[in-house]
Structures are given as C-alpha cells and as structure tokens.
Amino acid sequence: MPRPILATIDTEALAHNLRQVVQRLANDARGGPAPFVWAVMKARGYGHGLEAAVHGFAQADGLAMIDLDEAVRCRELGWTGPILLLEGFFQPADLAVLAQYRIATAIHCDEQLRMLAQGEVRAPLDAFVKLNSGMHRLGFQPDEYRAAFARAQALQAQGVLGTVGKMTHFARADDDPAVTRAQLDCFEQATQDLPGPVSVCNSAATLTPGFAAGVRVSEAQWVRPGICLYGASPFASQTAASFGLRPAMTLSAQLISAHTVPAGEAVGYGQTFRAPHAMRVGVVACGYADGYPRHAVSGTPISVAGVRTRLVGRVSMDMLAVDLDPVPQAGVGAEVVLWGQGGPSVDEVAASCGTIGYELLCAVAPRVPRREL
C-alpha cells in the first residue's frame, strides 16, 4: 500500500473560480466590453499540475506562464488559444519555439529587443512591452518606455512582431489602493496614445470592484488573475470564500499512530511542545518533505475525521503530530485534511505559518500523489 497522503485536484473548482472572476468582470463592466482573461499558470499551475489547469481553465481566453517548456506542454495537451510568457524569452533559440507554437512574449529589457532584431522569426510574435511603474522588478523605466515601444513597433513593421501591447505589474494591489492608483497613473501617462491591448490587473486588482473597469484602454484589456483561480485569496483581510471561490487543492493524509502523551512530556524534535495534561496525540503521514512547512507552529489549524484541531510540536521530514483531544474517537487510518475541502483553507494555514497560500500550494512535493477530479 502506498504511503497515505494525497493531493486531490478539483478541476470543476478551477472552472468555477474562473466563472466567478468572469462574472465579476462582466458586472463591473456595466454593459461595456468585459476584459479578456489570462489564466495564470506559473509553477505548473501553482502546484496543481498543468493537465488539471488546462482542463479547468478550458473557457479562459488565454493562458499565461513563465516556462517555455510548460507553454509547449499546454499546446501538446490541446490548448489552442493564446499563451503569454510573462518573463518573455531568454535566448535567441527560444524565438523559433515561440513562433512554432504561437506563443506570445513579454518584452521587458533592451536585450530582448536586440535578440528580436537580430534573430530570425518564421511568423510574427505577439508581444506586450512591459513598464516598470514602481514594482522595480521587470520592465522599462517610465522615461525609457516610449522609445522601447517605438522599437517594438519598428519590429512590428518588419514582420517580426504581430500585435504589440502594453503591460505592467502592481506591487500592492492587495493592501494599498493609493500605491496602486499611482502605479496605474504612471502606466497611463507613459503609454498615453500608444496603440495595442493593455494588461495590468493581477488577482487583487481583478477582484477589486470597479478597478478593471476604470483602466483606460483604446483596444482590448486583458486581466491576469492567478492565485484566486485556485481558490485562495490575494488579500490578507478577505477570505477566498467571501469572493465565492472554492479550493481546488485538498492536501489530505491519514493518522498512522495515536497514543497518550503524559502531562509534562514533550512531542517531537526540539521538544517545542509539552503536554499541559495527559492528552491524546496523533501522528500524520505528512511532513516538510511533502511540502508542509517546517516552520508551522503549534496551534496551526488542521482537521481530523472532520473535526478541527491543531498541530502540536515541530514538523518532521515525513510526519507531524496533532492534538486528538477534540476528536477522541480518531485512531489509525482516520482522515486528516491539511488544507482544502473539509479542512482549514490554505490561507489559514499560511497565515499561521507567517507566509502566503501561494507558497504552500507551489511547494507540495513531487513525491505526493495527485488525483484529478
């Protein structure tokens, strides 16, 4: 029998979350054209798997990701719509692959423009020229942007590029509307009167009422929701459920031991937790080698046999311990939900660990079996 741990991927939840986003955008559009949706699939669909994500996002307008091999794999899985590489390409040899598989690219630096000018492209590539509006990660500076866009237009005239759009990325759309507004103002000033589609909204901006509807566009607008499509929230103060989103990944395991720990005795490495009284403790077949965070603290929420309880002690490589006092009937073989359907949300677990749901979903290890619903 295999080790009793499983990541269950619910493709209908992925499809449901996409529909929720599309409906919110349609409502915000107030009768005007709603933005198109890039379903962001970085890190193999935020740890959910490319196959599941392609199935779940079948109704998306396009897919966006980082890795060229993953983009090619999406084509092999049957995706025929637009694909965008959010970091663009990295070497001249990539251009032939982009053309062969009809993959669009971000352009964020002079080196990419030079590679395009010097390379041979069999078919025009669609592109988005990226502005650094304040994130200070990728993109052309505001005073450089129009010159960079003009170079892209020249490549467009030569047949190297097809559609040329404009994009940026927000640093604090999840918690500071003023910073986001300033970034959008910077973007709109730098791109004023430049043609082409626009893409600025991440999950947080997409879910903020009226934000996408307030972006000035002369052509199409594309939003880029990511984490919300997987049923987690980009906001610390708002749950995914409050947006009508459903968790697409459930990480579950089983108890492989249940025993009584005497009062005052410690549990696990480092003896970081001591039983305040004689208490039942269960051992779960999940540890940090499976992707559960080692820095999770005692008290992190967990569910055993449908009852909410807590982690106790330090997480080991292959095991962790839980308080069974709230669920005295639980014994070996009882189902444990680390996060997802029937247990705490991934955002709750992440908050308890001082991190974000993105990290936990992406960190589930390859050794954990996955089942697609």
pLDDT digits 0-9 by tens, 124-164:
999 999 999 999 999 999 999 999 999 999 999 999 999 99
What is the tens place of the pLDDT at every residue in 87-118? 999 999 999 999 999 999 999 999 999 999 99
Alpha-carbon distance values, 158 to 129, 153, 240 (Å): 17, 9, 46
Task: Quote the Cα angle for 180-136-188, to 5°.
Answer: 45
Reply yes or no on whether the pLDDT at 40 is more than 90. yes
Percent of the chain surpassing pLDDT 70: 100
Q: What would the DSSP string read from start to end of 282-314?
A: EEES--GGGT--TTPPTT-EEEETTEEEEEES-
Task: Quote the Cα angle for 305-309-314, to 5°.
Answer: 115
Tell me phi and psi for residue 196, to 5 degrees. 105, 160
What is the tens place of the pLDDT at every residue in 194-219? 999 999 999 999 999 999 999 999 89
Taking all residues of the chain, what is their mean pLDDT, rounded to a whole number? Answer: 96
Q: Which of 24-38, 263-277, 296-310 has the lowest mean pLDDT?
A: 24-38
**pLDDT for position 311:** 98
Compute the CA torsion angle 166, 169, 172, 177 (nearest 10 deg): 10
Quick check: 315 and 287 in contact, CB under 8 A?
A: yes
**pLDDT for position 104:** 98
Q: Per the residue annotation, which of 46, 145, 166, 269 is the catalytic one?
A: 269
Reply yes or no on whether the pLDDT at 237 is more than 80. yes
Reply yes or no on whether the pLDDT at 120 is more than 90. no
SS3 assignment, position 66: coil
**pLDDT for position 182:** 96
- Report, as an integer, the average pLDDT of 27-44: 92
What is the tens place of the pLDDT at every residue in 56-86? 999 999 999 999 999 999 999 999 999 999 9
The residue to which tokens 């209908």 are assigned: 12
Q: Per the residue annotation, which of 42, 145, 288, 292 is the catalytic one?
A: 42
Give every CB contact of residue 43 below 8 A, 6+ residues apart in sequence. 66, 362
**pLDDT for position 341:** 97
**pLDDT for position 31:** 75
> Residue 216, class by beta-carbon neighbours within 10 Å (0-12 exposed, 13-18 middle, 19+ buried)?
exposed
**pLDDT for position 18:** 98
**pLDDT for position 101:** 97
**pLDDT for position 118:** 94
Quick check: 266 and 373 in contact, CB under 8 A?
A: no
Active site annotation includes 269? yes
- Report, as an integer, the average pLDDT of 304-321: 98
Active site annotation includes 42? yes
